[in-house]
Amino acid sequence: MSDDISLSESERSAGIVRCDACPVLCRIRPGRAGACDRYANENGALVRVDPLVLLAKPDLARVAFVEGSDAWHGELGKGEGAFVTGIGATTTYPDYKPAPFIVSSKQDGVDMVTVVTEGIFSYCGVKVKIDTDRYLGPEQAAVRVKGEAVGHVTTAEYGSQMLSLGGVHHLTGGSKKEGVVTCDTLLALCNREAVELTIDGGSTVVVQADKPPVVNGALEERMRVGCGSAAIGMFAPQWKDHVDEVIVVDDHITGVLSEHQGGVFLDMKPAGIRVRGRRSTPGRYFQVAEPGLGWGGTNVSDPLEIIEKIDPKQAWPGLKLLMVSTTGEHAAWFTLDEQLKPRPAEMPAPVRHVVERIAENCEPALCTVLFMAGAGGSLRAGVTENPVRLTRSVRDTLTKVTLGGVPAYIWPGGGITLMVDVARMPEKSFGYVPTPALVAPIEFTLRADDYAALGGYASRAVTLEDVIARHKVRIE
Amino acid sequence: MSAVAARFADGRLHLQHGPIDLIVEAFGAAEEVERAYAQAIDRFGDILPALVGELIVLRRPIGEAYPLLQGPVARRMAEAVWPHRTRYITPMAAVAGAVADEMLQALVRGRRLDKAYVNDGGDIAIHVTPGQSLRAGIFAQALDGVALLTHERPVRGIATSGWGGRSFSLGVADSVTVLAATSASADAAATMIANEVNADHPAIERRPARALDPDSDLHELPVTVAVGDLPPGTVDAALDRGLAAARRLRLCGLIDSAALSLRGHWRIESGGTPLALSEAG
């Protein structure tokens, strides 16, 4: 396969277009389709014969329709309430010609223009939030797919681990294979497929947008309710009459009830049980164990391992000790014998009840995938003759940016750097080109007069009715 | 787009990558069938990239020298078209059949299946064990014919060519269906016979292949783009030319049978495989 996919001058003047949808890279003459019959040259433009996706209304819940179904739902075609997405709009790369659809549809009585295109994003990646306290790997560690580095571990957020995957350096800055694997990974994640990620010096995690993570083969069902200290604060009053001590085991902060402000407030007697690690403030301990896949995101499988010593001056025989993890997933009940050794015992019902309540308060663990990309110069040129005005218009919130109908968060500062939750977008919104880069639908919506003012191709505007009449349409 | 695998509601496997579109079905114990599908999916991802890597050679006409090719599908293509080299032919004439053969091999390898097929847009590779049979229908205008394929018959491939399909034809046949030992050899033979079903008549409109597809392996050869009304004598003469070509290929051992159609008229060249025209036609 040749990397040079540019067309000769004579080919261009003959109206031939190069399809880069698959490795065959067909050259297609006007009015004809490529080898797959899925992409065609329509008056010099590469069009996908796949249907265009319409949202019945951009901000309302979408109704799923069977592709190819003749059953039309809703009131589409009357020019109100429908929103043309960029999905299936086809790209205009490099964007020296106007975006495929500039749709003038009325919204709330105002002439709105939606410039619909599929953008090719060379600068793009995903930020993945994985709801788990389990140890995924050290910060900055490479995240790999099929042995290729596709991103890295960034940081931890409250109850979650954060990965940054893709980005221009992995897509085009490394080896060809790294770029291809990265592109495949991003495409799969953005289209809400499951991908297995391996982290250097850490875990293997299966990530799928809007689904629980699977860490080293174990499905993560719940987020922790809070750190060990927070759990103490939340549940101390409910434990008070049933326990002498509670240790909430957590990889971040392990909480010890009788030393903790929550216990002191309840006049609990010091129990003399010292946990390992570094004391932060009273009753709050860092690093009681190594990170791992055991209790509360530590490597501990026997919770007594984190007890450094039991002080005979403070502890007493018969002392009742609860040890529990921050998800309620692990819990054990002990009483101290005559030698002040913890002995396992059957957990009393009221204590069991509070342990179950911890579990109940843990939210379902999910992976969330935010697509993040920059809308570059040429993409903007497809919208207006003066691209910087589009950027300013987006800044001034006169222009609304959506991807597949989903409003995008625009990062402050220069350029149009956007983020969107792929789980909210219609199915199969993303594609790719062999560059490698992702293709994503992007729509700019603004008032018709504002559009004209920023140098838009207003004369190219078509009505929604025309779009529906002239194109295969899939409704969501 | 990267390769896509999906299951139809009835369990058949659908594989698609660029222009390759396969329907795969295996019959046998459920567990064996699933393992067979997994093998097919596993093999599929590499098929198109490997072909694209040798596309320049694959689009060249076969000349004096046997083409040097690396990929297993590419080699199947070369092997299938080599016997036809006295006429203009490129390995691309057998691409669909060769993909079907390669995928069938991946599907059945090491598995215990009663029967199976890989249908690559009408070019079909089949696997059939003793006592089993597969029925292949030939649709030209309606269900015009049925081929019954059994273990005893030396047929493991079916292919159909014609001017209206996705590939270009130099001839005017509505369809030429060939049964042969492999799908690739059936594909190459169907292409060649369809080219021979031809006539010189003003109602036949032709264009240089590259005027339609700048990448066509047929270069400037005139390919059929429209066929108007043809007088009965012209239809008969065109079919008879095709039939003679089919007979020549059968006697060379390259095909088992062929069914040719043009404007509702048929010719059959049969090596004995039950191939009956239905009256419904």
Q: Do A431 and B1 touch (CB under 8 A)?
A: yes
Question: How high is the pLDDT of residue A472?
Answer: 57
Q: Do A11 and B19 touch (CB under 8 A)?
A: no
Say if strands A124-130 and A367-374 run parallel, antiparallel, or are unpaired. Answer: antiparallel
Q: Do B19 and A28 touch (CB under 8 A)?
A: no
Task: Tell whether A29 is within 8 A of chain B (Cβ).
Answer: yes
Contacts of B19 in chain A (CB under 8 A): 22, 24, 34-37
Task: Tell whether A309 is within 8 A of chain B (Cβ).
Answer: no
Task: Tell whether A28 is within 8 A of chain B (Cβ).
Answer: yes
Q: Do B19 and A34 touch (CB under 8 A)?
A: yes
Nearest residue on chain A to B167, judged by CA atoms? A35
For chains A and B, CB pairs below 8 A equal: 49
Q: Chain B 179-238, CB below 8 Å of chain A: which residues?
A: 211-215
Instruction: Choose among B49, B55, B166: nearest Cβ to A37.
Output: B166
Nearest one of A148, A98, A119 to A455, comparing CA atoms: A98
Nearest residue on chain A to B17, judged by CA atoms? A22
Degrees to nearest 5, angle at CA A367 with A361 and A371: 135
Distance from CA of A205 to the nearest CA of B (A): 22
Q: Do A23 and B1 touch (CB under 8 A)?
A: no
Contacts of A36 in chain B (CB under 8 A): 18-19, 21
Is residue A261 within 8 Å of residue A282, measured between CB atoms?
Answer: yes
Q: Do A16 and B53 touch (CB under 8 A)?
A: no
| Predicted confidence (pLDDT) per residue in B23-55, tens digit | 899 999 999 999 999 999 999 999 999 999 999
Distance from CA of A177 to the nearest CA of B (A): 13
Q: Do B19 and A35 touch (CB under 8 A)?
A: yes
For residues A170, A172, A173, A174, the Cα torsion angle rounded to the nearest 10 degrees is: 70
Contacts of B217 in chain A (CB under 8 A): none
Tokens 């191709």 found at: A457
Question: How high is the pLDDT of residue A259?
Answer: 92
Nearest one of A84, A38, A70 to A426, comparing CA atoms: A84
Q: Quote the tokens at residue A159.
A: 């109850």
Nearest residue on chain B to A11, judged by CA atoms? B214
Contacts of B55 in chain A (CB under 8 A): 1, 24
Contacts of B96 in chain A (CB under 8 A): none
For residue A174, give the DSSP letter.
Answer: S
Question: How high is the pLDDT of residue A94?
Answer: 36
Question: How high is the pLDDT of residue B74?
Answer: 96
Question: How high is the pLDDT of residue A318?
Answer: 95
Q: Where are the domains of chain A?
A: 50-122+376-475, 124-223, 228-360
Taking the C-alpha atoms of residue A110 and residue A402, their distance in angstroms, rounded to an integer, is: 18
Report ipTM (2 d.p.).
0.77
Nearest residue on chain A to B47, judged by CA atoms? A23
Nearest residue on chain B to A437, judged by CA atoms? B1
What sign for the dihedral angle of Cα A133, A154, A180, A376?
Answer: positive
Has this prediction a pTM greater than 0.95?
no
| Predicted confidence (pLDDT) per residue in B91-113, tens digit | 999 999 999 999 999 999 999 99
Residues of chain A below pLDDT 50: 1-3, 56-81, 90-98
Question: How high is the pLDDT of residue A201?
Answer: 94
Q: Do B18 and A28 touch (CB under 8 A)?
A: no
Higher pLDDT residue, A466 or B17? B17
Higher pLDDT residue, B280 or A438? A438
Question: How high is the pLDDT of residue A262?
Answer: 86
Nearest residue on chain A to B51, judged by CA atoms? A24
Distance from CA of B268 to the nearest CA of A (A): 30
Question: How high is the pLDDT of residue A93?
Answer: 37
Is residue A44 within 8 Å of residue A34, measured between CB atoms?
Answer: no
Q: Do B211 and A29 touch (CB under 8 A)?
A: yes
Question: How high is the pLDDT of residue A70?
Answer: 32
Nearest residue on chain B to A16, judged by CA atoms? B214
Q: Do B166 and A184 touch (CB under 8 A)?
A: no
pLDDT above 70 covers a percentage of chain B that reads 91
Contacts of A1 in chain B (CB under 8 A): 49, 52-53, 55
Q: Do A36 and B214 touch (CB under 8 A)?
A: no
Neighbours of B247 (CB within 10 A): 15
Is residue A306 within 8 Å of residue A249, measured between CB atoms?
Answer: yes
Say if strands A473-475 and A52-55 run parallel, antiparallel, or are unpaired. Answer: parallel
Task: Tell whether A37 is within 8 A of chain B (Cβ).
Answer: yes
| Structural domains in chain B plus CATH codes | 4-277 (3.10.520.10)
Distance from CA of B212 to the nearest CA of A (A): 6
| Predicted confidence (pLDDT) per residue in A208-236, tens digit | 999 999 999 888 877 877 888 888 888 98
Q: How confident is the model at residue B131 (pLDDT cuts 50, 70, 90)?
A: very high
Q: Do A24 and B49 touch (CB under 8 A)?
A: no
Nearest residue on chain A to B168, judged by CA atoms? A35
Task: Tell whether A66 is within 8 A of chain B (Cβ).
Answer: no
